[in-house]
């Protein structure tokens, strides 16, 4: 390990007494760090849409009004970023991906989330379609801020947070797996924090 | 055309604190002994890495304050209240401690003597650090390049290197012009606003003299000054910038 | 597209990481964007470094010209977004 700096602690909290909530190699934070691969997109709501496309019988597009009219859930989850910070008990409000996929027939086994600014990330369909993923528009009781992915982002808390794509504009269903942005640059294709799957080959 | 220096691949090396010199209430200059330091050019920076006992790491970049001819490597750091690295460097670090540094880095935002064209240095807050290194380089080499430093600070007590800059101001070919954005010294008759195009038009060397400009500070200031210099006739190739990010210094 | 956002740094911010990979300093190198063809000195391009990796984007069109990920004992360097890189010869010793 590198040289240890005497007296340096850094900005993080102690792990909670009920251990087991922090995956290996992670540090707790009270902040909500803003990490990005590019500038913050600012799509006006009247131009925003969310699409279900690709290997589906009938592609579907929602306007912002239509998306906000869908039944939403409030959920509390822990989130884990591959850059080693974890934040517990984050509160979100959004539409389950399973509800967005309801009624669509597909042979697809994978999805690619695509976003303003060109970011993409890939997931197995079963990792978003079974009550384990949401498209969220509210964080901590307030509209999701642009720097955190607003107006809407994908939320997939059981995987490293780069899979919770910010500024999401749709899900493309695919027959074949298609590595997204970070997956194409050395990050793990799946990204399970509990198995510490950060990079290819982990 | 710029020449790239052959450094070999960079790695982290240890720097030992020889002395800590307060500059303002929030800023201090850290004076380091660095074994095997290859030398540097005015304007370059180093990356600093801190590691906690449990392996947690944080990393930030700091411009080198010292001129290349000085015996030690000096960094000037401004402590940000909600920062993670700066409160450790300015507050916890003591002489005898060591930190990891990587560098020197940067072949673009550098100034070397011998050019001849006048130089305009524009600083916002702690952006003055690499520009002061350039001024110090001019002085230590006896170079005659006309240099002007336009330095924006919030208040007089925030001015880094105040006494040294006062001494350098008025030396043959060196001019230091301050502007204050929140409060000013008693009896001050100079600029009391953010740097804008009108100020640049009044202060900057006329573009026709082939002047070069180096601009360093918070992103907002850097962008607005770069735009202002283009508006008063500087070509894009004559303006070099280095941004510190939104906080105006590292965190 | 708008490149004026707070979190954006410039190529100087990538110099340390690139210096671990390349034996010459690249900030003074010139690069050509694979998206729009514009050429700039690398130090003048936009860098987003607070994330899973460091992304360098063209200041004119936003195209991701280079991506560097450092972790797991290796570096991944993606430069497919750059058409060419012109690196000055080192100064004589």
Lowest pLDDT segment from A70-74, A159-163, B205-209: B205-209
Among the partner-chain residues A6, A7, A12, the one whose CB lies closest to the CB of B56 is: A12
Q: What percent of chain A has pLDDT over 70?
A: 97
The domain containing residue C19 runs over which residues? Answer: 9-86
pLDDT of the residue at C52: 93
In a domain, C17, yes or no: yes
Residue A74 neighbours by CB distance under 10 Å: 11
Res. A2: pLDDT tops 90: no
Contact flag C89-B4 (C-beta cutoff 8 Å): yes
In a domain, A85, yes or no: yes
pLDDT of the residue at B15: 97
Residue in C closest to B46 by C-alpha: C16
Total domains in the fold of chain C: 1
pLDDT of the residue at C7: 76
pLDDT of the residue at B56: 87
- The predicted model scores a pTM of 0.89
* Residue predicted with more confidence, A108 or C7: A108
Contact flag A37-C3 (C-beta cutoff 8 Å): no
- Band (pLDDT 50/70/90 cuts) for residue A1 is low
- What's the CA gap between B219 and B225, in Å, rounded? 10
In a domain, C3, yes or no: no
A36 touching chain C per CB within 8 A: yes
Give every CB contact of residue B13 below 8 A, 6+ residues apart in sequence. B34, B35, B36, B100, B101, B102
Contact flag B58-A4 (C-beta cutoff 8 Å): no
**CATH number for position A174:** 3.90.420.10
Nearest CA distance, C3 vs chain A (angstrom):
6
Residues of C in contact with B47 (CB under 8 A): 16
Residue B214 pairs in a beta bridge with: B121, B240
Chain centroid to CA A89:
15
Residues of B in contact with C20 (CB under 8 A): 9-11, 102
Going from N- to C-terminal start, the domains of chain B cover 13-104, 119-243
Res. C2: pLDDT tops 50: no
According to DSSP, the β-strands at A110-115 and A120-124 are antiparallel
pLDDT of the residue at B245: 63
State ipTM: 0.89
Q: Take residue A25 and report the two structure tokens written for it.
A: 């190699």
In a domain, C4, yes or no: no
Q: What would the pLDDT profile of B157-178 be if each residue is shown by its tens digit?
A: 999 999 999 999 989 999 999 9
- What's the CA gap between C46 and C55, in Å, rounded? 8
Residue A54: C-alpha distances to residues A30, A64, A95, A156 (Å): 39, 21, 20, 20
Average pLDDT over residues A146-157: 97
In a domain, C64, yes or no: yes
DSSP state of A137: E
Q: Take residue C22 and report the two structure tokens written for it.
A: 């390349």
**Quick check: A113 and A183 in contact, CB under 8 A?**
no
Residue in C closest to A40 by C-alpha: C5
pLDDT of the residue at B1: 45
- Band (pLDDT 50/70/90 cuts) for residue A5 is very high
User: What value does the mean pLDDT of chain C take?
Assistant: 89
pLDDT of the residue at C70: 94
- What's the CA gap between B134 and B64, in Å, rounded? 10
Average pLDDT over residues C40-48: 94
Residues of C in contact with A149 (CB under 8 A): none
pLDDT of the residue at A15: 65
Contact flag C28-B6 (C-beta cutoff 8 Å): no
User: What is residue A105's three-state secondary structure?
Assistant: coil
Total domains in the fold of chain A: 1
In a domain, C81, yes or no: yes
Residues of B in contact with A4 (CB under 8 A): 51-53
The domain containing residue A109 runs over which residues? Answer: 27-32+41-195
Contact flag B51-A1 (C-beta cutoff 8 Å): yes
pLDDT of the residue at A113: 98
- CATH T-level assignment (fold) for domain B119-243: Rossmann fold (3.40.50)
In a domain, A163, yes or no: yes
Residues of chain B with pLDDT under 70: 1-7, 245-251
Lowest pLDDT segment from A21-30, A67-76, B194-203: A21-30
In a domain, A181, yes or no: yes
**Quick check: C80 and C68 in contact, CB under 8 A?**
no
Apex B71 CA angle, B98 and B6, nearest 5: 85
According to DSSP, the β-strands at A120-124 and A60-63 are unpaired
Residue to test with chain A: of C4, C21, C46, C52, most A Cβ within 10 A:
C52
pLDDT of the residue at A31: 86
- CATH T-level assignment (fold) for domain B13-104: Elongation Factor Tu (Ef-tu); domain 3 (2.40.30)
* Residue predicted with more confidence, B251 or C85: C85
pLDDT of the residue at C24: 86
């Amino acid at each position: 390990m590198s040289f240890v700096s005497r007296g340096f602690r850094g900005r993080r909290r102690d792990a909670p007494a009920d251990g087991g909530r922090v995956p290996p190699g992670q540090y707790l934070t009270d902040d909500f760090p803003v990490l990005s691969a590019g500038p913050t997109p600012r799509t006006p709501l009247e131009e925003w849409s969310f699409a279900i496309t690709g290997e589906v019988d009938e592609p579907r597009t929602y306007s912002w009004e239509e998306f906000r009219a869908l039944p939403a859930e409030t959920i509390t989850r822990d989130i884990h970023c591959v850059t080693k910070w974890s934040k517990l008990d984050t509160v979100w409000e959004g539409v389950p991906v399973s509800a967005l996929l309801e009624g669509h027939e597909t042979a697809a086994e994978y999805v690619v989330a695509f976003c303003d600014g060109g970011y993409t990330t890939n997931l197995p369909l079963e990792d978003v379609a079974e009550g384990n993923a949401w498209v969220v528009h509210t964080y901590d009781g307030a509209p999701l801020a642009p720097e955190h992915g607003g107006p809407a982002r994908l939320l997939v808390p059981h995987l490293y947070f780069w899979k919770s794509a910010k500024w999401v504009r749709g899900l493309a269903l695919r027959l074949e797996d298609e590595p997204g942005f970070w997956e194409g640059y050395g990050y793990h294709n799946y990204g399970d924090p509990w198995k510490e799957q950060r990079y290819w080959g982990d | 055309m710029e020449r790239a220096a052959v450094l070999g691949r960079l790695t982290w090396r240890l720097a030992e604190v020889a002395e800590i010199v307060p500059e303002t209430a929030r800023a201090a200059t850290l004076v380091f002994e660095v074994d095997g330091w290859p030398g540097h050019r005015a304007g370059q920076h180093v990356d600093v890495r801190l590691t906690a006992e449990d392996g947690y790491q944080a990393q930030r970049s700091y411009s080198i304050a010292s001129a290349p001819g000085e015996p030690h490597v000096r960094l000037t750091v401004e402590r940000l209240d909600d920062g993670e690295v700066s409160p450790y460097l300015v507050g916890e670090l003591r002489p005898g401690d060591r930190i990891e540094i990587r560098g020197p880095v940067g072949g673009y935002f550098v100034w070397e003597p011998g050019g001849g064209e006048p130089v305009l240095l524009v600083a916002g807050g702690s952006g003055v650090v690499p520009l002061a290194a350039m001024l110090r380089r001019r002085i230590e080499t006896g170079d005659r390049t006309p240099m002007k430093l336009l330095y924006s600070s919030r208040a007089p007590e925030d001015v880094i290197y105040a006494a040294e800059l006062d001494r350098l101001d008025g030396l043959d070919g060196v001019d230091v012009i301050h502007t204050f954005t929140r409060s000013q010294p008693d009896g001050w008759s100079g600029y009391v606003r953010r740097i804008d195009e009108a100020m640049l038009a009044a202060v900057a060397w006329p573009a026709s003299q082939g002047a070069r400009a180096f601009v360093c500070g918070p992103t907002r200031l850097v962008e607005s000054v770069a735009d202002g210099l283009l508006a008063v006739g500087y070509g894009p190739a004559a303006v070099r910038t280095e941004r510190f990010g939104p906080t105006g210094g590292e965190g | 597209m708008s490149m004026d956002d707070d979190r954006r740094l410039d190529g100087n911010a990538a110099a340390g990481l690139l210096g671990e990979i390349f034996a010459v300093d690249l900030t003074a190198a010139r690069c050509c964007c694979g998206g729009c063809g514009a050429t700039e000195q690398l130090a003048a391009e936009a860098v987003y470094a607070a994330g899973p990796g460091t992304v360098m984007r063209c200041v004119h069109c936003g195209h991701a010209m280079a991506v560097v990920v450092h972790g797991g004992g290796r570096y991944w360097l993606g430069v497919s977004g750059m058409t060419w890189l012109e690196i000055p010869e080192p100064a004589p010793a």
